[in-house]
Structure 1
Amino acid sequence: MDKQEAGQDIRPDVPKTAILVGAGQRGHGYSYYAATFPKELKIVGVCEPRDYHRDYEATLHRIPPENVFKDWKKAAERDKFADCVFICTPDRLHKGPAIAFAKKGYHILLEKPMAATEEDCKEIVSAVKENNVILSVCHVMRYMSWVKKVKEIIDSGEIGEVVNINHTEPVGYYHFAHCFVRGNWHKEEDSSFSLLVKCCHDVDLICYWMSKKCNKVSSFGNLSHFHKTDKPAGSTRRCLDCPDTVQSSCPYSAKKIYLDMVEKGHKGWPASVLCDVVDIENITDALKKGPYGKCVYINDNDVMSHQVVNMQFEGGATATLQMVAFTSKISEREVKIYGTKGEITVRHGALPPVRVFNFLTQKSVSHFAQESMIVSPLGGNDGADYNTIKAFLKALRNEDQTEIETGPDETLASHLLCFAAERARIENRVLNRNSKGEFE
């Protein structure tokens, strides 16, 4: 058996080279792998329209000036000068660079969601297959240890046949306000619908655990509370102009979410999204002028604040996904998986995160899944960001797409299910998968 057959890295001492396309928060996090593990990865190019972020990455990775671009199209026009690209542009700007770099033969690490429309997703998958390049879409949750532990338990047969999955994604009240009322994902035409943007992870996990095709889907949702009719009496268009009496009774006050946090010394997310240099002066200026200082009740946001998706899989198994904005916890999923011989309970963020109850023995077993100890910015999502990059680089070294948890086919299938769920919500009906694998 050779090294590749044994699942070992081929030439692990030779770093792979990458171009960073989009140097925002996610792009910086992924590319930081090169600064931490220079023997495995080297960033040799950056494409970013914003001067501060582009210059930061160029300095951090010592990128030569000829490989520093404002526009990714300039890099794509060049002869291939790296092994891969990290595409971390806004959601609606994924398709262009993904297809262009695939045609040049670059392997691709693509931030989720794959794209904002069903057709764009299909075109990306076609491009990577036609050009024989490796694609990893950043469904980072598949690399979380508790997720893998759940999959291991299911596959072992310990709970028998899975008959139902009940999965809740608690978005978090101020997280939703930050991202989906004031932020980049507040309006569907600028990004996409919230189920895809926030919960394509969760739909993917349900499909991963079920290991079956979904045959039917329905969905219901609503945009609650963030309307002009819910605007508190006496409030103003901007939070910093609101009277103290109003601010003190508003959980969505931008002063509380951003300015008070910075005053307490917290300079990370979400304050770090507002300005390049996080301090009181810059945050105050951003709240006075930018979108994050606007009242949440008079914005033009139109995406769902809560939604439920019902699914039926081959063989009759069912699943329910609940996305809820109005929660105290942020993205600490709660999962119940019901089998014919037992059940699994997951409380992400709790210890232990995974419990299994066996119907035969009438006993519960706790599983303490080991999370990565990698620190920020690679430590995002309990170290899953680090594991995502690590798996991608191993796939490149071994020239083996199977090293990656979410390649083109798996990702496309779960994305198409998201699009079908949203269409079912809009059209108020059940969609069925036909013989061609499409929902109608």
Structure 2
Amino acid sequence: MGVQTGRPSEPITIAVVGCGQRGNAYARYTLREPAKCRIVAIAEPRSKTRALFASQYGVDSSLSFHKASAETIQTVGKRLADAVLIAVQDHMHAELVGAFAAQGYDILCEKPMATSIEHCLQIEAAVKKADIIFGMGHVLRYSPYTRAITDVVRSGQLGQLVNAQHIEPVGHWHFAHSYVRGSWSKEAESSFSLMTKSCHDIDILCHWLSPDTPVHVSSFGGLQHFRKSSKPAEAGDATRCLDCTYEAQCPYSAKKVYLDRVASGQVGWPASPLVDGIPDIENITNALQNGPYGKCVYESDNDVCDHQVVNIQYASGATVSFTMIAYTTLICQRQTRLHFTHGEVTGDMNTFTVTDFRTGQKTVHRPPSEGGGHGGGDLGLMRTFVEAVRTRQQELLGTDVTDVLKSHLAVFAAEHSRKTRTVVDCVEFENAARSGS
């Protein structure tokens, strides 16, 4: 499979395409484990962000590119690294995966796989043709917490998994940042929010139920609050937070979310995506005065769902209920209940409790936190991907490109159900997708 990497003792070399928040989240693993992997090339259009990333990770300036494409690779005349980490905007994934797969790179692609079924199918074909190691940014699979729950599920100690209830509390200001003001606010320019935010939630549910497969999906949801009709009367005609007399009372105030944080020394996310380089009072103020992140959430041109429920029935008869909701104090701290024939598991991404009905015993598990995003999932995915590349073992990732495609198809089916108000037959939906009908 793919191209061999050289001596096993040598670190895996990585090219990073997209040096923003997600690119950094994965790249930090190379600083923790320099003997296992190192970044040797980057591509990023923002000059200051590119320079900061290159400096932090010790990348030679001659291998720091304004953009990444097949043309860049051909210009250099050889592969730059063993693997590529793709962390650009979602709609660009298919083009880049296709180009880099054709050059023989192993690939770790940020979620979602792509923003259309057609592009997902193109990625599956490209990866299979190239016979490369392929990882997907479904980071929930790789945290110590989730791995520990997966071990309980796979052990069979609680009997058959019959039902799962899972909620993603996005967080009120987080949703406003990413899905009202940010890059994922409009479906036509990105994708629907169930895909861009929650595809890895559907994936982990499918993973826990596997090898059982979805047979029917239904979904409901919509854009409930972040629209002009919900604008407080006290906000008047103001279209930007810095010009609004109601701003101090508004939970979605851009001044609170960005400017006040930077003023207190918090220069990472969520402020960092607003500017090229390091956020400061001056450049954040300018961004709020002139860019989308300073707009009133009730005056923005967003159109993606701010709440959605998904119900899935599996071939065995098992059922799943998933909820994505913007209006929470928790920020992405998923709440999960797994119901088995002989017990249950309840968890909150930090701890989980296993109850055995037969013995009455309750056991609280507190998996160690490794730091990093998604409860250690970001680091866990990178560690697993690097080892898969080193050993040429796709199975270490616990998934492959076709498995990734199938969980994405469940997400597409759910959104089709929401829009058509129908129950979707998953087998028919996949067959239609693959036939292009």
In the superposition, the TM-score normalised over structure 2's length comes to 0.93
1:67/1:75 contact within 8 Å kept: no
Shift of 1:110: 0.5
Tell me the equivalent position of 2:364.
366
- Is 1:383 matched up with 2:387? no
**Residue 134 of structure 1 aligns to which amino acid in structure 2?**
I
2:21/2:269 contact within 8 Å kept: no
Distance in structure 2 (CA, Å) of the matches to 1:223 and 1:436: 25
Distance in structure 1 (CA, Å) of the matches to 2:122 and 2:221: 29
Shift of 1:64: 3.4
Distance in structure 1 (CA, Å) of the matches to 2:181 and 2:27: 27
Tell me the equivalent position of 2:280.
279
Shift of 1:63: 3.1
Q: SS at 1:311's partner residue? A: strand
Tell me the equivalent position of 1:354.
352
Cα separation, partners in 2 of 1:82 and 1:142, compared to 1, 3 Å: same
Cα separation, partners in 2 of 1:173 and 1:424, compared to 1, 3 Å: same
Q: SS at 1:365's partner residue? A: strand
Select the residue among 240, 244, 264 that pairs with 1:242: 244
Tell me the equivalent position of 1:63.
59
1:420/1:439 contact within 8 Å kept: no
Q: SS at 1:221's partner residue? A: strand
Shift of 1:241: 0.6
Compute the RMSD of aligned alpha carbons: 1.8
Tell me the equivalent position of 2:308.
307
Distance in structure 1 (CA, Å) of the matches to 2:131 and 2:418: 36
1:143/1:387 contact within 8 Å kept: yes
Distance in structure 2 (CA, Å) of the matches to 1:346 and 1:61: 36
2:144/2:376 contact within 8 Å kept: no
Single out whichever of 52-61 and 16-25 deviates more from structure 2: 52-61
**Residue 228 of structure 2 aligns to which amino acid in structure 1?**
K
Distance in structure 1 (CA, Å) of the matches to 2:64 and 2:223: 41
Q: What stretches of structure 1 of length at least 5 have no aligned partner?
A: 1-8
2:98/2:127 contact within 8 Å kept: yes
Matches for 1:2-151 after TM superposition, within 5 Å:
12-73=8-69, 74-77=71-74, 78-151=77-150
Distance in structure 2 (CA, Å) of the matches to 1:229 and 1:99: 43
Shift of 1:29: 2.5
Shift of 1:435: 6.8
Cα separation, partners in 2 of 1:439 and 1:315, compared to 1, 3 Å: farther
Distance in structure 1 (CA, Å) of the matches to 2:187 and 2:86: 21
2:111/2:136 contact within 8 Å kept: yes
Tell me the equivalent position of 1:4.
none
Distance in structure 1 (CA, Å) of the matches to 2:428 and 2:239: 52
1:207/1:213 contact within 8 Å kept: yes
- Is 1:180 matched up with 2:179? yes
Q: SS at 1:251's partner residue? A: coil
Shift of 1:115: 0.7
Distance in structure 2 (CA, Å) of the matches to 1:252 and 1:265: 20
Tell me the equivalent position of 2:403.
410
Shift of 1:104: 0.7
Number of corresponding residues: 422
**Residue 428 of structure 1 aligns to which amino acid in structure 2?**
R
1:308/1:323 contact within 8 Å kept: yes
**Residue 217 of structure 1 aligns to which amino acid in structure 2?**
V
2:145/2:375 contact within 8 Å kept: no
Shift of 1:13: 2.7
Identity of aligned residues (%): 42
Matches for 1:331-346 after TM superposition, within 5 Å:
331-346=332-347
1:268-309, CA deviations, whole angstroms, 9 ceiling, x for partnerless residues?
A: 211122222222222211111111110000111000000000
Q: SS at 1:326's partner residue? A: coil
**Residue 255 of structure 1 aligns to which amino acid in structure 2?**
K
Shift of 1:76: 2.8
**Residue 402 of structure 2 aligns to which amino acid in structure 1?**
D
Single out whichever of 221-230 and 46-55 deviates more from structure 2: 46-55
Shift of 1:12: 4.8
